[in-house]
Amino acid sequence: MRHLLSTADLTREEAVELLDTAEAMAATQQREIKKLPTLRGRTVVNLFYEDSTRTRISFEAAAKRLSADVINFAAKGSSVSKGESLKDTAATLQAMGADAVVIRHPASGAPHRLAAAGWTRGAVLNAGDGTHEHPTQALLDAFTLRRHLRDGAGDLAGARVAIVGDVLHSRVARSNVHLLDTLGAHVTLVAPPTLLPVGVEAWPCATSFALDDVLPDVDAVMMLRVQAERMNAAFFPSEREYSRRYGLDARRLRALPGHAVVLHPGPMNRGLEISADAADSTRAVILEQVTNGVAVRMAALYLLLTGGEEAA
């Protein structure tokens, strides 16, 4: 693996290796070994053209816990506002010696372009590109599911996962559908017809418009953020109607099987796609997802930068 651009590129073996390596990284953190020397002397650049809390901080924490040097670049306040292109920004960062570039960009395909055009010699990790993919989010979701449903080992064969809400704008949904399918899980996308993408019939999953029909038969339900910043009002019912038909609330929590868990990638719109009591319930593993994100990103940086050949 040279780059991590899309979960659609991962084989089952590569995905399980990433999850197993993340378990090993998490174990080091639990033993209070806060810092590993593995990436000493390497430089990781966080190149963020879109806002982020979880992903940016998590990649920074992951790189630092592997002893890498970290350069944080936010487009806001940089020469991007003067018209500098991605190519020239990447060349500038390369001149400072980037071994890995973690990129979030509003344009779908920007990380692929960075990698394919050779604008950086470093490994490229996609931290979310437009409405396309968010592979490390899907990996941390799979890691969290594997811990709850499979004791943290192997794949997710046979697990039933509903992904609910604004699928149209969700890079999290697309990355999860590909990864969960590769790991053997059965995914059902639940959304209003206007919030399912064109061509979804070709995705390796089922679709439904009726959340109440799906909930009693799942092992996990993943609520998606309604992306107001990308939304065309014509696609969206009123907030009240959306919540009534597609929101997870206390009544719908009770419809889930006893063992089922609730995920959300964050940030949440409390009261819209998820009620406060659902978000804060004992079934919600939302903060575990955040914690697990650091171990998963440590694993991704470690495998990409060392090929798994240096001791972690």
To which residue do tokens 């993408």 refer? 197
The 3-state DSSP class for residue 242 equals helix
Q: What's the DSSP call for residue 204?
A: S
Residue 138 CA to residue 55 CA, distance in Å, equals 12
Which residue of the set 7, 28, 43, 55 is catalytic?
55
Dihedral (C-alpha) 247, 254, 184, 273: value to the nearest 10 degrees? 10
Residue 64 is among the residues annotated as catalytic for this protein: no
Give the nearer residue to ligand CP in terms of CB position, either 50 or 155: 50
Backbone angles phi, psi at 42, to 5 degrees: -95, 155
Residue 54 is among the residues annotated as catalytic for this protein: yes
Give the nearer residue to ligand CP in terms of CB position, either 126 or 182: 126
Give the nearer residue to ligand CP in terms of CB position, either 55 or 89: 55
To which residue do tokens 């996962």 refer? 161
Q: Are 239 and 272 in contact (CB under 8 A)?
A: yes
* In the complex, least distance from residue 134 CB atom to ligand CP, rounded to whole angstroms: 6
* In the complex, least distance from residue 72 CB atom to ligand CP, rounded to whole angstroms: 13
Select from 134, 214, 211, 130 the least CA-distant residue to 173.
134
* In the complex, least distance from residue 142 CB atom to ligand CP, rounded to whole angstroms: 14
Summarize the annotated binding site for L-aspartate as residue ranges.
82, 171, 225
Residue 112 is among the residues annotated as catalytic for this protein: no
Which residue of the set 104, 146, 160, 174 is catalytic?
104
Summarize the annotated binding site as residue ranges.
54-55, 82, 104, 134, 137, 171, 225, 266-267
* In the complex, least distance from residue 4 CB atom to ligand CP, rounded to whole angstroms: 15
In total, the chain counts a number of residues equal to: 312
Residues forming the site for ligand CP (CB under 6 A): 52-55, 128, 137, 265-267
Residues involved in catalysis: 54-55, 82, 104, 134
